[in-house]
Structure 1
Amino acid sequence: MASDPRTRSTARVPASTSLLASLGNEPRLLMVLTGMFWAGNAIVARSVAGEIPPIGLAFWRWAVGALVVLPFAWPHVRRDAKAMLADWPTMLLLSALGISFFNSGLYLAAQSTTALNIVMLQSAVPVLIVAASYSLFRDLVTARQACGIAISLLGALTLISHGDLGVLTHFALNTGDLWMLAASVSYAVYTALLRKRPAVHGLSFLFATFVIGAALLLPFYVFESVHVRPMPLNWHALVAVGYVAVFASVVAYLCFNRSVELLGANTAGLAVHLVPVFGTLLAVLLLGERLHAYHALGIALIAAGILLATRKPA
């Protein structure tokens, strides 16, 4: 008697594929990975400020990211190209908001403001996502989600202010801060609009937005190279581009976009509050900084807020 074809199909699925599929349905893990790799992005942006031009870093981030994801995305792109072309206005808007402008704004901000200000303004993204979701779609947050977002935000501000929230009253905006604020608003709108993306495979969407985002940046990159300063060709630049292209782009965006699918924009946006958490841990591990009580308090508040906001109702 012939075996059941469904059994044969299941048997051919590699264990690694099953594991990846399982991980792709764990939104909390996806948020952790997103926050971890974006923390590295903020550190890289600040460390190369003045050495690597901001538009050049953003352009090569997406161009290299597209090349990295292409071999995995190509079978899906061939199938999904028609659907994405049919909805080109949405693809163009999402690429401009979440790919081109957000990261260029962050890298421009890093040229003239502190890492502290960048992280503090970025921590407003979850609140801005709630505002964007309500403005565009009249989405309301539940009391549980609102409490989780508030607790997580308090934890992020505790880390950023080193436990002294009074320092936040002395915050004043400079040019770099305005770039970061505009970038944060851009990413909040991108996140809220992700529900409107074409119904295509995640890798197809990722590749297409990376390509469009790089294309939108190309004229600005050429202008920067000719009239400001060209992209340096050295190991420091190669390592920086490699990290932001592979980890902060391909891996982080796959995780973030999937977490938005699973949790919705308002809750998935809390991944941004994990950026100062991992920034702190990286500083301790790589720079030898000491852990203080406010670190533990801030991390605990962020963890509690995310657990509360992502907890499934009984």
Structure 2
Amino acid sequence: MLAWAGLVLACLFWAGNALVARAFSDAIPPFSLAFWRWSVALALLMPFVAVPLWRHREQLRRAGWRLWLLAALGISGYNCFLYSAAHSTVALNLTLVNTCLPLALFLGSGLLLGEWPGRRAWLGIGVATLGLLWLIGRGDWRVLAGLSFNPGDLLMLLAVFDWALYTLLLRRWSGLLQGVPGLVQLGALILLGVPLLLPLYLLELAGGARFAPSPENLVAIGYTALCASLVAYFLWNHGTRVVGAARAALSNYLMPVFTALLGWLLLGEGLQPYHWSGGALIFAGLLLASRPARS
């Protein structure tokens, strides 16, 4: 249950991250936000993991290219796709495209890991998907038929498959880092991921895209660095190892629910009946899929 609680909390922080990405899309360029998010996260984490990183250096070195690939997918690629998509598509479409993630992980877990979910898990994903579509459609199925898409949605789709591959490989290669504490693993990934973001950031600067170091912008970067990066990634990585990639992915259905709640609390956006009914279906599907099968 602690692993599931951590996954839910991670999704809450990532819902906040989505709000930040949309709210500051005109103020902070996407690669700048990604680079400074992880640079600040690395600065916050290093005092706690520098010595353990050195102690586990041989085990990390043996992970070799696999660690670099995980960093490229989970630290660099996903965030660049997500923040770029936030500049060019609406929030509703971001949420709709994100529904591909649990299905991608369900299929990927079976094909790559041999971990085919049981019937109860498939039923849970069906119930949660209905709840999410009801939420996106604002309680009217005809709204879904009228949705329009743009090139930014392709970036979000790439982000979804990027994150799915990161999660599956993290699970598949977990044995390589067995015995290395979770925070140390995260520190290693960030340490490799920041240099991969640097060329994109410099390219953005060369194109004249900059942001002002205003208090609001710095708070936004601080939130993404601490909550959406360090805390959320640690909880996600731990939850994936404990409950499996496919079942962990079901927690992503909570993100639009949390986004609606945060919009109500922070932006004064009203909650409608379809928010409650859609959220209830999502929670029901998550509970159904997370319950262990009877022996």
Query: If the TM-score is normalised by the length of the shorter chain, which range does it land in?
Result: over 0.9
Matched, 1:179 2:155: yes
- 1:199-251: per-residue Cα shift (whole Å, max 9, x none)? 22101111111121111110110010111412322212201110000000001
| Alignment partner, residue 50 of structure 2 | 74
Q: Structure 2 CA distance, aligned partners of 1:312 and 1:72?
A: 36
Matched, 1:123 2:103: no
The normalised TM-score by structure 2 is: 0.94
Q: Secondary structure at the match of 1:154?
A: helix
Matched, 1:307 2:283: no
Amino acid at match of 2:61: L
Q: Structure 1 CA distance, aligned partners of 2:208 and 2:87?
A: 13
Q: Structure 2 CA distance, aligned partners of 1:98 and 1:282?
A: 25
Aligned-residue offset at 1:137? 2.8
Q: Secondary structure at the match of 2:116?
A: coil
Q: Structure 2 CA distance, aligned partners of 1:254 and 1:301?
A: 27
| Equivalent in 71, 85, 88 of residue 61 of structure 2 | 85
Q: Secondary structure at the match of 1:95?
A: helix
Matches within 5 A, 1:1-314: 26-195=2-171, 196-197=173-174, 198-199=177-178, 200-314=180-294
Q: Is the Cα contact below 8 Å between 1:80 and 1:201 reproduced in 2? A: no
Q: Secondary structure at the match of 2:88?
A: coil
RMSD, aligned α-carbons: 1.4
Amino acid at match of 2:170: L
Q: Structure 2 CA distance, aligned partners of 1:223 and 1:285?
A: 37
Instruction: Tell me which moved more, 190-199 or 245-254.
Output: 190-199
Q: Structure 2 CA distance, aligned partners of 1:115 and 1:103?
A: 16
Q: Structure 1 CA distance, aligned partners of 2:152 and 2:53?
A: 37
Q: Structure 2 CA distance, aligned partners of 1:41 and 1:280?
A: 13
**Long gaps (5+) in structure 1:** 1-24
**Long gaps (5+) in structure 2:** none
Q: Is the Cα contact below 8 Å between 2:136 and 2:144 reproduced in 1? A: no
Query: What is the percentage of aligned positions where both structures have the same residue?
Result: 42
Q: Structure 1 CA distance, aligned partners of 2:212 and 2:151?
A: 25
Aligned-residue offset at 1:71? 2.2
Amino acid at match of 1:95: A
- 1:32-73: per-residue Cα shift (whole Å, max 9, x none)? 201110000000000011211000100111111111122222
Amino acid at match of 1:235: P
Q: Structure 1 CA distance, aligned partners of 2:80 and 2:159?
A: 8
Q: Secondary structure at the match of 2:201?
A: helix
Could you say which structure has the larger radius of gyration? Answer: 1
Aligned-residue offset at 1:160? 1.9
Q: Secondary structure at the match of 2:123?
A: helix
Instruction: Tell me which moved more, 47-56 or 156-165.
Output: 156-165
Q: Structure 1 CA distance, aligned partners of 2:3 and 2:122?
A: 18
Q: Is the Cα contact below 8 Å between 1:225 and 1:231 reproduced in 2? A: no
Q: Structure 2 CA distance, aligned partners of 1:173 and 1:291?
A: 25
Aligned-residue offset at 1:81? 1.9
Q: Structure 1 CA distance, aligned partners of 2:211 and 2:284?
A: 42
The normalised TM-score by structure 1 is: 0.88
Q: Is the Cα contact below 8 Å between 1:105 and 1:179 reproduced in 2? A: yes
Q: Is the Cα contact below 8 Å between 2:120 and 2:293 reproduced in 1? A: no
Q: Structure 2 CA distance, aligned partners of 1:121 and 1:87?
A: 32
